[in-house]
Structure formats: C-alpha cells, structure tokens
C-alpha cells in the first residue's frame, strides 16, 4: 500500500475544508478560528491546514491537505505543497472576481505547476454562470497552464471524488510518461 499527498488550495470560502470533509474516511483535522475578515461572510476560516484521508480501491491511501485561503498565509502554501503529487485549486464563482482569484493561486503555485499535475474545481456555477468554464480555460491557456476544469459542489462526495479521480488520472499519465523516458 502506497501513500500519496494531494493538496487542495483556493480562496477563503471556496470549500477546501468542506471538500476534504466530504471524502475523508476519518473526521478531518481542521485548524479553523473565528473569521475576522469582514469582507467575507464566513464564521470560521482555516489558519493552518486541513487534513483527511481517502483509501483507493487499489489499497493506496491519499492524504488530503488543505491550505488556508488568505494570501497572507502563502508561506504555508509552500510548506504544505512539498511532496504533493498533485494540486487541486478550488474557485468560488460567486466571488466578485473569480478569475483574478484563480490567477493569485496560479502565481502562488507557479513553480509547482511546472512539475505537478493540477485540476481546477469551480464552485457555485449553478447560481453564478459567469465567468464560464471557457473563460477559465482561456485564462489558463494564456498563462501556459493546461489542466482540467470541472464544475464542483464541494458538499457532494461524488463531485469531489470526480475531481480527485481526474487529478489521479493525470498523475498516472505523468508517471507513465516518466517511466517511458527512463526505459532503454
């Protein structure tokens, strides 16, 4: 049985804690405190990390880590992304500037995006249709980042599992490509 690490990141309120809780086999570890940021209508916010686990059908175990959403905690992003096999960026389409939010995380994880697969989960598309998934794809293409973008309701286990499965498929393809390069 192998263990792997996947990192969830994104803005405050995008659903990192909820996504991890929806798929974790154990009650997730969270480091939430009272929110003092009046610009976001949210009672609590993560200031350290979230952690949960998920066992795959193969027996492999996925350790799910979540970052704090505020940019002031970006030093933790760099710590938490170490040894991650993949990155999931969650966005909230109901925020005032979700494409700018995504850009913040693309910049914050620019080095990692050069070497680890990534998937983007866009929440609240059902209530806020703009920007569209095509708008997100255009932003990624303009930055030279190519990764899948899926609509997600982080409260729905199946949605989060699809996002994780999509990322795992990329990781497997990446590992297979590396093995081909190493073969004589």
DSSP string, the chain: --EEEEEEEESTTSSHHHHHHHH-SSPPEEEEEE---TTS--SEEEEEEEEEEEE-TTS-EEEEEE--SSGGGHHHHHHHTTT-SEEEEEEETTSS-HHHHHHHHHHHTHHHHTTS-EEEEEE-TTT---S-HHHHHHHHHHTT----EEE--TT-HHHHHHHHHHHHHHHHHHHHHHHHHH--
pLDDT of residue 72: 86
Place of tokens 């002031």: 72
Domains delineated in the chain: 3-182 (3.40.50.300)
**Sign of the CA dihedral 77, 169, 123, 142?**
positive
pLDDT of residue 184: 62
Per-residue pLDDT for the chain (184 aa), expressed as one digit of tens each?
889 999 999 998 899 999 999 999 999 998 878 887 777 777 787 778 999 999 999 999 999 999 998 888 899 999 999 999 999 999 999 999 999 999 999 999 999 999 999 999 999 999 999 999 999 999 999 999 999 999 999 999 999 999 999 999 999 888 777 766 676 6
pLDDT of residue 183: 61
pLDDT of residue 31: 81
Give the separation between CA 32 and CA 45, rounded to whole angstroms: 5
pLDDT of residue 129: 94
pLDDT of residue 181: 65
pLDDT of residue 2: 86
Give the separation between CA 96 and CA 55, rounded to whole angstroms: 36
pLDDT of residue 30: 86
pLDDT of residue 175: 78
CA atoms within 13 A on the CB side of 22: 18
């Amino acid at each position: 049985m192998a263990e792997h690490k996947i990192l969830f990141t994104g803005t405050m309120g995008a659903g990192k804690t909820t996504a991890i809780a929806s798929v974790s086999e154990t009650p997730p570890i969270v480091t939430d405190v009272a929110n003092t940021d009046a610009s976001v209508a949210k009672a609590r916010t993560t200031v350290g990390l979230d952690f949960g686990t998920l066992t795959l059908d193969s027996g492999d175990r996925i350790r799910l880590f979540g970052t704090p959403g505020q940019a002031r905690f970006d030093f933790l992003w760099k710590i938490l992304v170490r040894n991650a096999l993949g990155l999931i960026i969650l966005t909230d389409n109901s925020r005032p500037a979700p494409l700018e939010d995504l850009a913040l995380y693309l910049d914050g994880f620019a080095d990692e995006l050069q070497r680890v697969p990534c998937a983007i989960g866009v929440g609240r598309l059902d209530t806020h249709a703009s920007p569209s998934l095509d708008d997100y794809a255009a932003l990624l293409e303009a930055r030279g980042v190519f990764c899948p973008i899926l609509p997600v309701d982080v409260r729905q286990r199946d949605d989060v599992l699809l996002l994780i499965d999509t990322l795992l498929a990329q990781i497997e393809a990446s590992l297979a490509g590396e093995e081909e390069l190493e073969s004589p």
